[in-house]
Amino acid sequence: MDFDEAADALYAAPSADFISRRNELAKELKAAGDQLGSTRLKALRKPTVAAWLANLVARELPDDVDDLLALGDEFRAATADLDGERLRDLTPKRHKLLDQLAKSAAGLADREGQKVSADVAQKLRETLDAALVDPAAGEAVRDARLTSALRHVGFGVVDESGEPSNVTALTDERRQRAKDRRRAKDNAEAEPEVDTESPAERAKREKAEKEEADREAAEKLAAQKEFEDAVTAAEAAEATVADLDTQLTDARDALIEAQEAVHRIGEELDEARKAARAAQKESREARKRYNRL
């Protein structure tokens, strides 16, 4: 099992089992010799209920999600062509498909024993709509590893807290650059290269490439160290929280026991005082009877 397989298995787990499942899978990766994968897996966040439901839909209904993303492509094409009539035709399809997916999601959640509130249902619908509107959000939904619901707000995609999402929009310019790179690569493979470099130029280029490779390797190593330190700090913080939580529970239990002991001792004290008063009264009566003799 590699990191991607472990991550897929983790986000396919029931929401309530996420933490325990993450720990199990991280141990498996570590035992298999993938320390970095284990560390990366430990850093994955637990999805909100809405994100968990969106991930479930993506896994269980991949064809429906593909239809949603394809409809988004049609919307963008019609918008680029300023085709108002086409947009009017597509809008009812958009609402119908979102309604169908929302209804199917409710059935899937019920099958998994997960209650879906009105708020969660709305966040799921917003996530699916963001997937339709934004290509990168669509790919994130299709990957089925969301940790937060998404929402398209006009200028981009945000998560449930209102913060910009980490999905990256795939613009037409980036698509064109990708096409250009593929075309250049195909041409390079089709035409044999003619070496016109002089030995000095080649040495200079190779030196520059080595320096660039060394720099990238150093940056990657530093980034990996920073990432691992952050995960270690997070794990230490979680351990501290767990320890303090245990201490708090123990203290509360001790307080309850002490309160029960105070109540019990108070009742025993009241009984002892009653017994003492009765004994004093009996003593006085006995003294009176003795004095009359």
**Closest C-alpha to 66, from 97, 91, 95:** 97
Give the integer Cα–Cα distance in Å for 225 and 39: 11
In terms of Cβ atoms closer than 10 Å to its own Cβ (0-12, 13-18, 19+), residue 8 is middle
**Is the Cβ–Cβ distance between 167 and 139 less than 8 Å?**
yes
CA dihedral 27, 29, 32, 36 (to 10 degrees): -110
Per domain, the residue ranges of the chain are 47-172
Give the integer Cα–Cα distance in Å for 285 and 275: 15
**Is the Cβ–Cβ distance between 170 and 133 less than 8 Å?**
no
Query: 195: left (phi > 0), else alpha (psi -120 to 50), else beta?
Result: beta
Greater confidence, 219 or 123?
Answer: 123
pLDDT digits (tens, 9 = 90+) for 88-122: 888 999 999 999 999 999 999 999 888 889 999 99
> Distances in Å between the alpha carbon of 110 and those of 59, 103, 160?
16, 11, 23
pLDDT value of position 171: 44
| Statement: residue 68 has pLDDT above 50 | yes
pLDDT digits (tens, 9 = 90+) for 249-293: 788 878 888 888 888 898 888 888 888 888 888 888 888 877 777
Cβ atoms within 10 Å of 242's Cβ, excluding its own? 10
Q: What number is the average pLDDT over the span 161-186?
A: 52
- Run of H or E including 184: helix 172-190
